[in-house]
Structures are given as structure tokens and as C-alpha cells.
A = this chain, B = another copy of it.
């Protein structure tokens, strides 16, 4: 019972050894992460099309729930860029930004995603996420980064623009360009330039000034806070809001409210696919961060339990005025680097953010939206990494095709189309590759018992005995290819008396392939040719013995290819001698 509880409540394991030293480490990390998260949370709410307080709310309860159920010690859960973009894309088809319906749909989206993640965790269905291949993820994140950056340009320029793909966004931006608010554009441009400098130039400058590596890291993460403070003061002091600079305005001064998602069946139907994609992409992003950080301390991550942790976090987001969340890369790394020892650091961060929600919200009344947009642009452009195109092109054209399809469809159609097409294409290309496996005709390397490809090596063969080695498991997609290959090889050459199938690379034979082998056996029999198998793996043999194939096989099953070739050749000689 305790064992069972411990599996589902990892807090019971690390909580028992919690001490003063760990508390100190966690507290320092929590303070740093809190400072970093305040502007980030506000910005991602803006990106998701929600009021700024939703970003704070989405960072409080979810963190606490993940602390209880998650297995990673350093993962920091909350709104992240890609998921916020997917949220905006999903809700954009359903309601107008700024309406009650939009916020209610965001709650439902988080709730659905949470329930899906919980279900996948409890039913141990985490493998579903495996079908999102690395090229698809890389292509998707690259394209999302570009779309996010483009979508924030309207805040930088102080204009209206809409669209969830690059074409729509660009044409909308161009149409509204004449309405650009000059003061906003100046604030936006300065904030963006400063943040880029913070990212690239501040750390080296601090190091030159003698600040320690760790200190420089932490200070440069505080750059966004500085921009927030400076631009807010500027807008307030110079009365820029009256000159058309859009500001955050009044934010309710409260703890996260209790909310109930709108469970209309119609809405649920519309949000099922987006919620599923958000769940899967959020999970994949989160678990790779968790695995990377865990390896640094030789710790284990339980993927199924991670699903439960993220699911609980999203359900929490949906009942406390938030929107979909997941484990974020940059905040988790900061948390880890700042010395977080246990998930309790997350709980302290939540407390810090709760204090901010209650006490600091009046201070951000004059915060310009352009500043938040600058924060987002600088953060996401670091995700835009075109090297995946070159790497995949060099390594494998199939992977390149999947990357390219994902990028183009995400950019020019929609995020959902991009991910779906990428996943479908990777699966089809994988099946296509394994549907035309490499089949080598092999011969004996003289003086050894080894058999090698006759096209690559000098080997001995017998015109009456053909040995084929299939370098792939046999299953429905390549069963007919095998039939065709063998029939074509044998029909073309009337000397052949024996066909040996060397099975050393065959890890599985499914029912389709079994029936194809039966058909091959019968057809070879019609041509007066015997079929033999060699080097069949144990599990494959176990399974073959459950069928009638071995009874019907005209030839034999040999442990080694060497023996098979010898016996076949001797049998030919006997026949000729008679």
C-alpha cells in the first residue's frame, strides 16, 4: 500500500529526508525563478490572448500540484511559449480574444489536456508521445518560434493584426502598418534591442567586471525585469498612455480565483484535437528537460508518473483561472542552476508568485504591452534553429522531408496541420522504408563459416542454391515484397533447387508474413524448389511453432547458415548422382 502510494506520490519519498540545507537551496532558487517568472507569465498570457493575470494564476496552483505528483526535482511548470501559441491558435477559431467565452474556453482546454495527460499516465499510454519524431518536434518549434515572433510585432508597432499562420499575419500587419503608433514603436524597438544585448552581451560584460559565472547567469536572467521596471516608469512619468501606448491596465489584486470550465459538448468536440496535441507536445518538451536535468544528478524520471504530474498541473490550471501549462526549458534550467534541491523549490516559487499577484499587480498598471512583446520575441527567437534542416538533409532524406513538411504546414497553414502532417509523414516514411527492406543474396566467404553479400564480397556460391538474407522484420508491409522478390529471383533461373532464407536480422514475423511464407513455400514447391530457413531467432521460432508452417515447409530449419548451405548442396549432388 505504502509502495503504491509512493509510486503515485513521489513527495512521500523526497519529503521524508527534507532538511535545513535542502530548504536553503530551494529557497534561493525559488526567489530567482520568481523574479524571472513575473514578466514571463504576463508575456505568455498576452501570447495566449488572455489577460495578464491569467499568466500569474497559471504559474501558481500548477506548480504546487506538480510538486506533489511529479518525479523531476528541478522541473518548473507553468505557461511556455509554444503551448501558449497553440492555445491562441486553438481558441482563435472559437471565440474573440478578450471575451468571457475565450477565457472560459482556455480553462476547458487546460482541463481537457489535464484529463488526457492523467488518463495517459494511469493507463501507461505515454508511448503515444513517441510518435512525435525529433525532426517533427524540431521543425514545429522552429516554425512556432517564427509565428510567435511575427504575432508579437503588432504589439511592438501598436497596431491591430490577426492570424494564426505567417501569411495571414503578414497580410494583416501590412494592412495595418499605416496605423503604427510611433511612441509604442520606439519603446518596443528599444526594449527588444536591450533584451538582445542582455542575452548576448551582458554576461560577457559582467564576467569582465569580475562577477562570477553563476552570478552573471542569474543577473542576466533578471534583464527582462529591468526592462519592465524602466518602461513602466517611463510610461507613467511621461504620460505616454495618453499618446496611444497600450498598457496592461488594471489587473485584479487577488489570489487565483476558483473557476469552472465551460463543459458544453460542442466546445469539447472542437477542442479535443488541440487539447490532445497540446498534451503531447507539452509532455515531450517537459520530459526531455526533466531527463536532461535528472541525468546530471543520476536520478530517474518515470515517464508515466510525469504524465500524472503534468495532468494534475493542467487540471489545477483549469480550476484556478489559468490556461494550458507544461515544464519549461529555460525556467527549469535556471531553477536547477540556482541550486533547487527538491520539488519544494516549486512550491516556494508559487508562494512568491501568489504574493506578486496580491501585492504587485497595481505596480504594473502602466507596463506597456510592447515590453511584454519584446520579452516574447527575444525568448522565442532563440528557439529558431535552422540547423535541423542541414543536419536532417545530410543524415536522411526521409527525416528531412518530415522536417520540411512540418515547417511549411505550420508556417503557412496552422500549427495543428503542421504537427499532424509531420507525424503522419514520419510514420508513412518509416513504413515505406521497412516495406522495401534490404534483401541481400549471400555467399560463403572462402575458408570461413561466414556468409556475406555477393555484391560486396568475393564469395562462393552454388547455382542450385540461393541464400537470401532479409535485413528487416517481416510484417504485413513487406510480406508481398518478399513474395515478389523470391518469385522473381527463382522464376528467372531454372537451375535453382533450394532457397535458403537467412533469418538472422528478423526480429518478428507477423501473421501476414507467415501467410506469405506459406505462399512462397507452396509456390516454390510448384517450381520443384525447396525452401529452408536458417538462424531463426528464439522468439520468432517460438511463434512459428504455434502455426502449421513448419509442418508444411518443404525444407528444414537450420541453426546456422553454414549447415544449411552444406546440406542443400549435398542434397543437390545426391539428386544428380542418382
Residues of A within 8 A of B (CB): 127, 129-135, 287-288, 291-292, 294-296, 298-301, 303, 391-392, 394-396, 398-399, 426-427, 430-438, 456, 471-473, 475-481, 483-484, 487-488, 490-492, 494, 505, 507-508, 510-512, 514-516, 519, 522-524, 526-527, 537-539, 543, 546-547
A380 vs chain B, min Cβ distance (A): 21
| Beta-carbon nearest neighbor of A436 in chain B | B127
Using A131-B431, A398-B510, A547-B394 as known contacts, say yes or no to A527 and B295 having CB atoms under 8 A apart.
yes
The listed residue (B130, B294, B395, B456) touching A543 by CB distance below 8 A is: B395
User: Is A134 touching B511 in the complex (CB atoms < 8 A)?
Assistant: yes
User: Is B476 touching A426 in the complex (CB atoms < 8 A)?
Assistant: yes
A529 vs chain B, min Cβ distance (A): 9
Query: Which residues of chain B have C-beta atoms less than 8 A from A456's C-beta?
Result: 538
Using A396-B510, A510-B430, A511-B392 as known contacts, say yes or no to A519 and B292 having CB atoms under 8 A apart.
yes
User: Is B507 touching A476 in the complex (CB atoms < 8 A)?
Assistant: no
**Once bound together, how far apart are the Cα atoms of A397 and B568, in whole Å?**
35
Most buried by B among A287, A399, A472, A512: A512
- Listed by A's residue number, 20 A-B pairs whose Cβ atoms lie within 8 Å are A127-B432, A127-B435, A127-B436, A131-B477, A132-B476, A133-B475, A288-B519, A291-B484, A291-B487, A292-B523, A294-B487, A295-B522, A295-B526, A298-B526, A300-B488, A303-B480, A398-B510, A430-B510, A437-B507, A471-B537
Using A476-B430, A514-B395 as known contacts, say yes or no to A492 and B300 having CB atoms under 8 A apart.
yes
A303 vs chain B, min Cβ distance (A): 6
Closest 4 pairs between A and B when the two form their complex, measured CB to CB: A295-B523, A133-B476, A134-B512, A399-B511
Query: Which residues of chain B have C-beta atoms less than 8 A from A491's C-beta?
Result: 294, 298-300
Query: Which residues of chain B have C-beta atoms less than 8 A from A438's C-beta?
Result: 507, 539
**Once bound together, how far apart are the Cα atoms of A114 and B396, in whole Å?**
34
Using A127-B435, A476-B426, A487-B294 as known contacts, say yes or no to A507 and B510 having CB atoms under 8 A apart.
no
| Beta-carbon nearest neighbor of A537 in chain B | B471
A29 vs chain B, min Cβ distance (A): 19
**Once bound together, how far apart are the Cα atoms of A119 and B404, in whole Å?**
25
